[in-house]
Amino acid sequence: MVQSAEFVLTAIQNKGLSQEEMGVKLGINQAAVRRKRAQFDLMMEFDNYFRKKIKTINI
């Protein structure tokens, strides 16, 4: 089974891949890619939110 870290690395390095292409690259089915992609997208939203917040901090 593909670990989350491997999925994240592959997703970051290959932003243009479809779910099907990502599944082939990682050796998993499209449904598994969909579940992992949803978690990845949530993590990236979280990251972007805090990056914006950090930029607004006045020291």
17: helix, strand or coil: coil
Domain assignment of residue 59, yes or no: no
Whether pTM > 0.85 for this model: the answer is no
* pLDDT higher than threshold 90 for residue 51: yes
- Expressed as residue numbers, the domain containing 43 is 4-54
Share of the chain above pLDDT 70, in %: 97
pLDDT average, residue stretch 43-56? 94
Domain assignment of residue 37, yes or no: yes
Domain assignment of residue 40, yes or no: yes
Q: What is the pLDDT of residue 59?
A: 73
Concatenating the DSSP letter of every residue in 26-49 gives HT--HHHHHHHHHHHHHHHHHHHH
- Give the chain's domain count: 1
- Tens-place pLDDT, residues 15-29: 899 999 999 999 999
